[in-house]
Amino acid sequence: MKEFDFVVVGSGIAGLSFALKAAQHGSVAVITKRKGADSNTAWAQGGIACVTSDEDSFELHVRDTLEAGAGLCDEKVVRTIVTEAPEAIRELMEVGVHFDERDVTGHRELDLGREGGHSKRRVLHVQDVTGREIENKLLAALGRSPRVQLLENHTAIDLITAAKLGFATEDRCLGLYSLDEKTGEVETIRSDRVVLATGGCGKVYLYTTNPAVATGDGVAMAWRAGVAIANMEFVQFHPTCLFHAEQRSFLISEAVRGEGGILRDARGEDFMSRYHARGSLAPRDVVARAIDAEIKRSGAQCVYLDITHKPEAFLRERFPHIFETCLQLGIDMSRQPIPVVPAAHYQCGGIKTDINGASNLRGLYAIGEVGCTGLHGANRLASNSLLEGVVVARRACEALVREFPKEQDHKIALPEWVSGNVQDVDELVVIYHNWDEIRRLMWDYVGVVRSDKRLQRAASRLRNLQREIREFYWNFKVSVDLLELRNLATVAALIVDSALLRKESRGLHYTLDYPQTDEAHFRRDTVLSRG
């Protein structure tokens, strides 16, 4: 049994920010199922939202967030995170993140971008690789901390709780089991302070902007441990994923529209002006539905993002990663529009927590995309996600140190993992087939536009798939592929069950059977609980 004062699952901005702070108070294990840099954070292009300009204000940032959230944001949480943003930015700068600046009348100031749903320029960025820059700087700082162990190629399997062990006390989290992919052994990891920072679940869909690690592990683990889950029906589809056979998961940042990019149909017409007063800078849910409607109406495979009116030099400097990637695929964005389609991007729901990331299971916290604090409501405002991750990470550390002082730690020996009479997986094709089936049925039935019939079909098939996967899980040795499949099926079912409960259209949840918003009955969170 390995024992740590703090255990963090996930190595994105939330998990690494927490680990750096927690290391000031004790030993920390950071568990990540691939390399440290393999996270959703590293793929984030746009930037991080924060009020820094005299033309902007906290009140405007709050208003924009509430408007995007379609009535489901917790205003107190929104105000807290928005007002604590400057301190979060300062801390990122302290670990070496250098946000882009520009010359203004003889002095340097932050170069602020604007994205959909924002009334002002307030997005700090590092060209179009903001997340990668933040990830690298946090990992470098982590490497300098002797109190932190980064356990790469370790996949968390399940949480260990007092209830599971049969303790006649208040249920609480005592640690977790983790598969060491290199040895194939399952390790028992003990801690009274477990933080899930596992990111989202984009890989539950056939088309996504997320990396392969985004399989909903944290939500699935928490659900199996009896933790409340909220608002999983609100899956954000990014409107502009590159449509190309060789690059199915490449995001075309919302910042391209922020710098003047226009969405056009196959005839070259600016169709977004028909859907929203802000045109191509409308909130993401509006833009994604509009593109979906245009594609279905016209029979086209995609729409086009046109920024050809900007000079090539500007595009190369502002969007070097996007420009070069497109160029390698034969698309010169300075001379031709970029073909784009919506793709699953961000999980607005997750483990229900308070503003500090605390779940309803004592000792278990969830921060970043895996948690549902109430900031995003029914639709996340662009570039609020990295902000939430770093702000809530700091608050979670303070709360855990305050609520669980080290001197109160209880010496509890946890049971070792018992595999029982299982065998190696004989046919991997079963895992891959089920994986593909889940992702396709979610795309076809639980996508941008939904209906009760589609959702019920998905729910029925998912019940059968979960039964098959459960039988597979208990009869074969655990592997990363099997664990991810198990988690994908769980999260897919949570999304479908939540969507079936919401008999209205709001934010990211749009259903043909209930196209109107029902303020009287559904201005509330969708909370699922096994308790």
Q: Tell whether 103 is covered by a domain.
A: no
Q: Which pLDDT band holds residue 431 (cuts at 50, 70, 90)?
A: confident
Q: Tell whether 480 is covered by a domain.
A: yes
> Beta strand pairing status for 173-180 and 154-161?
antiparallel
Q: Tell whether 164 is covered by a domain.
A: no
Question: How remote is the C-alpha of 271 from its chain's centroid?
Answer: 29
Buried b (16+ CB within 10 A) or exposed e, 364-386: bbbbbbbbbbbbbbbbbbbbbbb
Domain that holds residue 323: 243-343
Task: Give the mean pLDDT of 386-390.
Answer: 97
Number of separate helices (H) and strands (E) present in the chain:
16, 21
Task: Give the mean pLDDT of 57-83.
Answer: 97
Share of the chain above pLDDT 70, in %: 98
Q: How many CB atoms lie within 10 A of CB 271?
A: 20
Q: Tell whether 154 is covered by a domain.
A: no
Domain final position from 343, 364, 385: 343
- pLDDT tens figures, 265-296: 999 999 999 999 999 999 888 999 999 999 98
CB 470 within 8 A of CB 463: no
* Residue 462: CATH number of its domain: 1.20.58.100
| Whole-number pLDDT of residue 408 | 57
Pairwise CA distance, residues 380 & 382, whole Å: 6
CB 506 within 8 A of CB 289: no
Q: Tell whether 219 is covered by a domain.
A: no
Domain final position from 308, 343, 378: 343
| Whole-number pLDDT of residue 419 | 81
Number of domains in the chain: 2
CB 183 within 8 A of CB 353: no
SS (H, E, C) 479-507: CHHHHHHHHHHHHHHHHHHHHHHCCCCEC
Q: Tell whether 493 is covered by a domain.
A: yes
Q: Tell whether 446 is covered by a domain.
A: yes
Domain final position from 321, 343, 365: 343
pTM assigned to the model:
0.93
CB 506 within 8 A of CB 517: yes
Q: Tell whether 129 is covered by a domain.
A: no
Residue 122 predicted with pLDDT over 70: yes
Name the amino acid, one letter, at 197. A
Pairwise CA distance, residues 406 & 28, whole Å: 13
Share of the chain above pLDDT 90, in %: 85
* Residue 281: CATH number of its domain: 3.90.700.10
Give the active site residues. Answer: 284
